[in-house]
Amino acid sequence: MNSSLGKVVSAVMVDENEQDYFVQPDRNGQTYRLPKVESPQVLHIGGQVRGFVYENEDHQLQMTCAHIPTVQVDHYDYGTVVSVRRDLGVFVDIGLPNKDIVVSLDDLPELKHLWPQPGDRLLLSLTVDEKDRIWGKLADDAIYQTITGAPSKRELNRDVVATVYRLKLNGTHVITDNYELGFIHPSERDQEPRLGQRVKARVIGLSSHGSLNLSLKPRAYQAIGEDAAMILAMLKHDLNHQLPYTDKTDPQVIREVFGISKGQFKRAVGHLLKNHLVKETAGQLILIDKEAE
């Protein structure tokens, strides 16, 4: 087994042609092609160089000094999914010019519609099998616990961007761009996100396990429709946060003030009442949602 693959190693130049140097790491005597345009200096026989070694897409052993990836054996970082093969897995770009890394289908969800798609990102390191094939190894829960910090109560109700890293029956596990762990219960999403998908969520609570409880559903006032949003905006801008209009108001007055029919007004107010954003008292429509204010 080639123990140098997927790592940054030191090597000695043993030969050359017009385009390439040929170098050998001390540890195993394997010969790697190093394009001269990538060498940090002119090399002579016996000269030393340090770079990342791998097998390129043409199955040639190669060293690179100009495109050293941050994803390596025992070194985790994000890579971007570039393609999918249903019979093999997903291909991830880690920064090499002529090699994408495969994450095996064995490490992906059973349901293929939950597989990562091009543009999604995965936190991974490299591993080398007994046939010297380099594979992507997804970060496990222990790695995520190591790289994340405890959330603050100040995060409540804030919007966050997060990447899905684990799919379980009890919900979706994510890591935010601020390196905080998050959890999305199935009741807080309309459909299950893919592994590696970046999602926009809002913080609805803090769990006892030191992670954020998140929701992919919009805030109530964001999901109530244009007419209700207009009424909400008028309430917000009123000095007393109330308006002298209810479902008992004359239809013509409703038309003149809001530019919508009485039926549209009643439906909009109904949504606001249902979502506990307003209340009706003594002929007044009153804002009660502090978040909207």
Q: What CATH number is attached to the domain comprising 236?
A: 1.10.10.10
Q: Does 71 fall in a domain? A: no
Rounded CA-CA distance 161/184 in Å is 13
Last residue of a domain, one of 139, 160, 192: 139
pTM above 0.95, yes or no: no
Q: How long, in residues, is the chain? A: 293
Counting the structural domains of the chain, the total is 4
Q: Per-residue pLDDT tens for 103-133? A: 999 999 999 999 999 999 999 999 999 999 9
Q: Chain centroid to CA 108: how far?
A: 16
Last residue of a domain, one of 196, 215, 234: 215
Q: Per-residue pLDDT tens for 195-253? A: 999 999 999 999 878 899 999 987 665 666 788 888 988 998 888 899 999 888 999 99
Mean pLDDT of the chain: 92
Residue 275 or residue 32, greater confidence: 32
Rounded CA-CA distance 288/269 in Å is 13
Q: Does 72 fall in a domain? A: no
Q: Per-residue pLDDT tens for 128-157? A: 999 999 999 999 999 999 999 988 888 888
CB 89 within 8 A of CB 168: no
Residue 223 has what pLDDT? 60
CA angle 183/188/192 to nearest 5° reads 75
Residue 292 has what pLDDT? 42
Place of tokens 């095996």: 104
Q: Does 125 fall in a domain? A: yes
Q: Does 195 fall in a domain? A: yes
Which candidate, 139, 218, 220, places its Cα nearest to that of 175?
139
Residue 274 has what pLDDT? 84
Quote the domain boundaries for residue 15: 8-64
Residue 291 has what pLDDT? 45
Indicate which CATH number applies to the domain containing 125.
Answer: 2.40.50.140
56 and 23 in one domain? Answer: yes
Residue 202 has what pLDDT? 93
86 and 29 in one domain? Answer: no
Q: Say yes or no to pLDDT of 27 above 90.
A: no
Percentage of the residues of the chain whose pLDDT score is greater than 70: 96
| DSSP character string of the chain | --TTTTSEEEEEEEEE-SSEEEEEETTT---EEEEGGG-SS---TT-EEEEEEEE-TTS-EEEESS---S-BBTB-EEEEEEEEETTTEEEEE-S-TT--EEEEGGGS-SSGGGS--TT-EEEEEEEE-TT--EEEEE--HHHHHHH-----GGGTT-EEEEEEEEEETTEEEEEETTS-EEEE-GGG-SSPPPTT-EEEEEEEEE-TTS-EEEE-SPPGGGSS-HHHHHHHHHHHHSTTSEES--TTS-HHHHHHHHSS-HHHHHHHHHHHHHTTSEEEETTEEEE--TTT-
The whole-number average pLDDT for the span 32-45 is: 95
Q: Does 43 fall in a domain? A: yes
CA angle 202/204/208 to nearest 5° reads 125
Read off the pLDDT band of 293 (50, 70, 90).
very low
Q: Say yes or no to pLDDT of 290 above 60.
A: no
Residue 220 has what pLDDT? 60
Residue 227 has what pLDDT? 86
Q: Say yes or no to pLDDT of 289 above 60.
A: no
Q: Does 83 fall in a domain? A: yes
230 and 194 in one domain? Answer: no
The whole-number average pLDDT for the span 186-192 is: 93
Rounded CA-CA distance 258/192 in Å is 38
Q: Does 3 fall in a domain? A: no
Q: Does 89 fall in a domain? A: yes
